[in-house]
Amino acid sequence: MEDKTKSQALPERYDALLEYVSSELGLLPVGLDSAFRQAESRRKLAELKLRRTLKAYWSRPYPALDSLRPFNLLPLFQEYAEATFRAMGEECLQLFQDFEPYDSFLKVVEGWVLNSILPTPKTFEQLLAQLDERLTRLNRLNREDSEYPLKLETAIDAFKGKSAQSFSGEDIDRLTEAAIELQIIRLREPFSSYETRAEASDYSTTSWGGDWERLFDDSLVDALKQSSDSLGASGVAEVFGAALKSTANRRDAAEFWEVGLEHTHGVLIAAWWKMSAAAIRADSSPNSPEGIVQGTKFTDSASAVKLMDGVTAQGAAPNYEANRKSTTGAEIHSESGGDRTRDAANRRAAVDAFLRKCNERKMRGRATRRHIWQAVGHTTARQFEYWQASDPKASRRSDEDFRRILGMDPAKFESLLEKKLII
């Protein structure tokens, strides 16, 4: 019987991130899938904590929420954003043997976290259609005392004459702001102030998606199920949930959260350097039976350095991959400068000959040097470049691995690349 826990796909939010790290960074999907599942487990726990906290607000008596502002809730979502970012950074730490790819990965994850929280703005056409429906509804109400329907109609007519090719980001922002001028609460505006100026019956609950809106909705449902006082608070939750439909509010919220994410980025980078230092100590220790080949790879995510709330977790030193005996570069490469130059020329010639033989076979796609270092499990070309140049920085294991690849039959090399999902 198939193990359903393994066949269960990751949530859709991970699709774009998986595509980036596998295509741009060359990481294998198998390792990513496991790390992402661990991160999703931690993200779900952070989400549940935030949902319970929000539910406590909507369970309060309605008058107690008069002075509440959307801005007051930004720190709650910042904690959730940082927990999600930290989970991804720590669970994937073991996959990165070099600093630059890990730093690039963290920058992408920062944007991914923010985009998952923020609602997705509608396209120009979707906004026009939505506003047309709202204007029809308002006109049915015969709200002669309100200037808002007239403002809305004027805004719609002004933009309907534009061609699709002339739409710009500024156009969409202007239309959005015109549409929500009276409906959207400002981040630092108390609910009582908003309530006195807003056209309550004009409020639209159309969702734009994102964790912000979804968690407001889910926490409100929780409160409605468990508290009789939450009916009045539901209006506050709905108004706050729509706050980030405003371009200005969305920008301000993102800037607020970016501060915490940048700090977490620094903590995760510190974890990588701590891991690197531990690896060097293990590699250079005369009493250590083990060393590492390339960088600082963990064998077990549970061994990774955990930095929670800026404090390094205490415990045993992490275990590293047993790849070779501890050996210095000088011991591996004892040739003179002239010998190394000749050896480098011979290695380049051997690589060229191997690739030519592979391409004569007409492999699926053109064989390149990148395929060689990816075939032995490297995530960057650094060790391959050291080895090809006969540089003392190349490890003994790299020498063995690259010689093994160059000695392979092209058909077996192609099969290896397919098995590792490289081609």
pLDDT tens string 7-37: 578 899 998 888 887 777 766 656 788 899 9
pLDDT tens string 314-371: 333 333 233 333 333 333 344 455 677 888 888 988 998 898 888 887 777 788 888 8
Alpha helices in 209-246 (DSSP H): 211-226, 230-241
Specify the pLDDT at position 378: 79
* pLDDT confidence tier of residue 302, bands split at 50, 70 and 90: very low
Give the SS3 label for residue 365.
coil
Mean pLDDT of 44-65: 92
Mean pLDDT of the chain: 75
Mean pLDDT of 168-187: 65
Looking at residue 308, the DSSP 8-state letter turns out to be E
Check whether 298 has a pLDDT greater than 60: no
Specify the pLDDT at position 150: 61
In this structure, the number of other CB atoms found within 10 A of the CB of residue 131 comes to 22
Specify the pLDDT at position 328: 33
Check whether 300 has a pLDDT greater than 70: no
* pLDDT confidence tier of residue 49, bands split at 50, 70 and 90: very high
Specify the pLDDT at position 154: 66
Min mean pLDDT across 71-75, 86-90, 152-156 is at 152-156
Check whether 182 has a pLDDT greater than 90: no
Entry field: residues in the chain: 423
Q: Which residues contact 286 (CB under 8 A, 6 or more apart)?
A: 326
CA 229, CA 294: separation in Å to the nearest integer? 60
Specify the pLDDT at position 293: 33
Between 282 and 304, the higher pLDDT residue = 282
Does the CA dihedral 172-173-174-180 come out positive or negative? Answer: positive
Specify the pLDDT at position 80: 97
Specify the pLDDT at position 60: 85
Write down the residue that tokens 């590699």 correspond to. 283
- Main-chain dihedrals φ then ψ at residue 391, nearest 5 degrees: -80, 140
Between 403 and 200, the higher pLDDT residue = 403
Check whether 163 has a pLDDT greater than 60: no
344 to each of 185, 384, 392, 399, how far by Cα in Å?
67, 12, 11, 12
pLDDT tens string 365-415: 788 888 898 888 877 788 888 898 888 888 888 888 899 999 998 888 888
Quote the pTM value: 0.61
| The CA-based dihedral angle spanning residues 383, 389, 395, 399, taken in that order and rounded to the nearest 10 degrees | 100
Domain ranges of the chain: 8-119+207-326, 329-419
Check whether 244 has a pLDDT greater than 60: yes
Check whether 297 has a pLDDT greater than 50: no
Between 211 and 172, the higher pLDDT residue = 211
